[in-house]
Each structure stands twice: as structure tokens, then as C-alpha cells.
Amino acid sequence: MKSYKWKDFFGLIHKAKPNIILFIFSCLISSISAIVATFIPSLLKRFIDSYAANERFDNKLLLSLIAIFILNAIVSVLAGYLLSVVGLKVIANLRKITWSKIVKLPVAYFDKHESGDIASRVVNDTNVLYTLVSNSFSQFINAILTILFCGFWMFYYDWKLSLIVVIALPLFLILFIPLGRKMSKLSKEVQKSTGELNVNAFEMISENKLVKSFTAEGEQISKGVRVIDHLKNIGVQRAKWIATVNPILNLIMMMIIFSIVGFGGVQLANGNLSAGTFMAFLTLIFYIIGPITNFGVFFTQLQQAKGATERISKIHAESEENIHEGNIFDITDKDIEFKDISFSYNTERESSFSLQNINLVIKGGHTYALVGPSGSGKTTLISLLERFYKPTSGSIYIGKENIESYSLNSWRSQIGYVSQEHTLINGTIRENLLFGLEDECPNEEKIIQACQMAYAWEFIEKLPFKLDSHIGERGLELSGGQRQRIAIARMFLKDPKIILLDEATSSLDSQSEEKVKLAMRKISEGRTAISIAHRLSTIVDAENIIFLENGEITGIGKHVELQQTHRLYNQFCEQQLQA
């Protein structure tokens, strides 16, 4: 990806669609509050000079001062609330578009990035913008207006005293330039380390049984502590920079104040300056300290936000799947042809594997079994058909039409896929069964029928809340076989034209497997069914068997034919019988 520039940063904020009118209105209110506050020293001067001249308080001026203080407080509260609303909406919108973007990213992206790190970008990285939008922008505008108005009054009262402040201002800005750059760099490191911590936490929590069974608690604690310590060290570096700059800023401010008190005191003693003017000038100095500091802090936070949001911008720069682009066809009973298909993964961990020159015709309405050693390319072949990946070369056709011409939504909606991982979502059984079927929600009778076909109803009806029973994260409150049967029932409800089974009965006992196989035969009638199989009982039922080795097809035929002509297949069958 190209280097992350300010244009990209502000483009990301623009994508979040901030409420510009509300933001401007909030900044305007906040600015009015800042401007009104600059008149307080003037009223204070008149109040003190009036007392010095008449030796009594001017009640009108006193009431005016109190009224301005109250009005300023009310306006500040309102502006702060409105800016917080703007900031929260920006964060919400940014999270929505980032969430939507992630959902549309291709499978290949998730192969290259850890899920915990992706989640960190949505949750943690977006938070950095909140402070910038809800607080820093308005403070920056207020700082400019306050400095301008206070500067006007200061020069109006005494231009000589004002020159002391003007000379000191560049020193503030010079300090904040290196601080901002360093903070941007450290902010990137913080977000990166936070993502790494999320990855480790996700791994440790989701694989807690693996950790305990291998007594790897010590290793997991060490991994977590290492990342936490790294985050702490980055925080210490940030604190060191801030701790170094703050005393220098305070020193400059003290020098300004001492210079003004010293020079102003001489002026006051000589009668060239009234007590009211001197107090007003000192008040203006204290008014201007905060804005000058905010001026520098704004650029520091801007650099921090830029550094933190770079990871979000990288997600938005990725190419996404357009699921609606393409034609809509009915693929019932049409032949599938793999023509000169080659494919290799682009990830480091799978760079050695590849499919090589696959040529294959799968007749519509027939059942096929993919057989072969682990890592031979069976799941990859199904993934290409599902269009999770694009072939490196070659094309896949259905009914002489390239499957790439179909919209992803149309294509995948006609395919039923049950993986060996029997993936379920956190929720109820009903929510899992109806996953992806919101537009054509089946009635209760069809849901129960699908569960019965998958032999899942026999355990569902025994649960306290039946279909509305919660099954926990990834369905962990159910057994492996129960999770698999719910996944199969979900496919029955989808009623697909092509069925893809990645060892779908792997978690079932022999009795349940036989029941599900009967249901599979029933749903496979008149449909194209492709199954990855390791059990001989599943393979024998297939009308055609495809044997893969090292990413190549080395045999196609029926069970009896391959037993006689394919040495490795015959060995495979013998091992199954011995088992």
C-alpha cells in the first residue's frame, strides 16, 4: 500500500460522514463562549479602576461579570455535549463502514490476517478519532479565536508588555513539532501492539482446552505478559516525551509571567499603568496560556490520530467482493467443468501447495466423492467452486457459462455447503438454522422437518427451549455430532441446487451417520452433490469417485473400477477395512 498521507486521513473522516452542520454549530457556540470570555478582563479592569477611583464597588459591573461567567458555563456545557454527539456519530459511522467493508472482503484477506487484529481495528483504532472530533477540533478553533481576541486586548492595553508574549509564542510551536511526530510514531506502535494483544487473547480464550490439555499455561502467560510489557514500554516512552516537554513549557510560561510582572510592576510604580489595566493584562496572560498549550496539543493529537487510523485505512484500501455484480441464472442439473485449473495460495504458510492443470467434468444431478490423502487439494477444489478464491489460471464453467459471469449472490445462494468445522454462530438453534435465510424465512413446520431430516430434532425437542435454546459461542454447549447435524439441517432449509459436503458426517457416530446418509441421499436426488470423504461407507455410495494426489487428479471412476486400476486407492480401501 502507498504511504499514508494527510489526504487519506481526512478522506477517512469524510467517509465517516460527520454531521457538518451540527459540528459547525457546536464550534460556533464554543467560539462564542471563548470570545465572550475574553471580555472578562476588560470588565475586571473597569471594576478595579472604578473601585480605585470611587472606593466602592460598581454593582452593575459586578452583576455583568457574574452573568458572563454563568452564560459562559452554560454555553460551554452545550457545546461540549453537541461535540460529543458529533464525535460519537463519527465513530459509529466509521465502525459501520469498516464492519461492512470487512464482511465484503474476500476469504484470501482473512487467510493473511489474524481475526483478533482485524477486530482490534474496528474496536480500538476507531476510538482515537473520538477525542479529536469531539474535543480537539473545537479547542483548536477556540485557541485561535482566544489568542486573536486576547492579543487585540493586550496590544490595546500595552503594546510593550504584549511584545514579551509575541516573542515567546514561536518557542511553544517549535517544541510541539518534534513532539507531534514522535507521538504519531508511538501511536502506530500502540495500535499495532493492541491488535497483537487481541490476537493472543482471542487465541488463548478460544483454545483454552488445548492450552490446558498441553499444560501450556506458562507459555500463554509469557506471550501475554510480553505484549503487555511492550504496550507499557510504549506508554513509558510517551510519558517521557510529555514529561520532558511540560517542564520546558512551564519554564517558558514562568519566564513570560515574571517578565510581565517585573516590567509591568515598574510601569505600575511609575504611574504609567493603572492597577486595573495591570490585573486585566495578567488575567489575559492566564487566559492565553491554555489556548497556546491546546494549540500544540491539537497538532500532537492530530498526528496520533493519523498514526492510529492508518491501519483502518489499509482495510478500506483492500478490494472487496461485489456480490451483486453479474448475471442471475438457474443452475439446476447443469454440468460443471473445470478447465485447465491451476491454483496456489498466496499466504506464507500455504505457499508450497498448488492445484495443477485440473480438467474435470461433473455431470449435473449426479453424486461425486473427492478422495485422497490429506493436503491433496480436495477442500481447495470445493473452495474454488464456492468462489472463495479465484483460480491462478483456467476457468470453471457450468452449462458452458463461466461461473465468474454469475453474481456471487446468485451463485452462492444456489450452493449448500457443510464444512468439516460445522461452524455455528453464538445464539439460538433457530438463529443458526435461519442464518442467511432472512429474506425467505421458512415456517415452523419446515424448520422442524429439516431438523428431522438431519436427525437433529431427536435432541432438539429434549432441550428446555427447543429451537430457541442458546448453544453458546460457536455452539460449544452442544456435542460435535449435534453441531454437525444442525449445520446439515441448515443446508436442508436452504434447499440448494448444488451440495458441497466437506466430510459432513465426520463427527457422527455410526448410527447417526447412517441416518444422515439416508437423509443425504434423499436431498441429493436430482441435484449435483460433491462430497469430500474419508470413510469407505460414504465413498462407496457415490456414483463417481475422483482421487487427488499432490494437487493433481490421478483417478476417476466407480469404486470397483478404481480398486482394480488405482494402486493408492486400493491401499486406501484396505486401510479402511482394517480399521
Rounded Cα distance, 383 and 341, in Å: 13
Find the catalytic residue in 503, 513, 514, 574.
503
574 is catalytic: no
Contact 91, 130 (CB under 8 A): yes
Could you tell me the sign of the dihedral formed by the alpha carbons of 103, 105, 110, 113, in that order? negative
Q: CA neighbours within 13 Å on the CB side: how many for 377?
A: 25
Q: Terminus-to-terminus CA distance in the chain, angstroms?
A: 52
On whether the CB atoms of residues 127 and 91 are closer than 8 A, the answer is yes
Instruction: Label residue 170 exposed, middle or buried (CB < 10 Å: 0-12, 13-18, 19+).
Output: exposed
Element (H, E) at 177: helix 159-206
Output the 3-class SS for 320-383. CCCCCCCECCCCCCCCEEEEEEEEECCCHHHCCCEEEEEEEEECCCCEEEEECCCCCCHHHHHH
Are the C-beta atoms of residues 203 and 148 closer than 8 Å to each other? no
d(CA 567, CA 556): 13
Q: Alpha helix locations (H) across 105-158?
A: 107-112, 115-123, 128-131, 137-157
- Indicate if the alpha-carbon torsion angle 412, 494, 499, 355 is positive or negative: positive
DSSP 291-313: HHHHHHHHHHHHHHHHHHHHHHH
Closest CA to 418 of 508, 342, 338: 508
CA dist 570 and 533 (Å) reads: 15
Are the CB atoms for 545 and 368 separated by under 8 Å? Answer: yes
* DSSP-derived pairing of the beta strands 354-362 and 336-344: antiparallel
Beta bridge partners, 532, equal: 370, 502
The helix, strand and coil proportions of the chain, stated in percent and rounded to the nearest 5, come to: 65, 10, 20
Torsion-angle region of 371 (φ positive above 0: left; ψ -120 to 50: alpha; else: beta)? beta
The residues annotated as belonging to the active site are 503
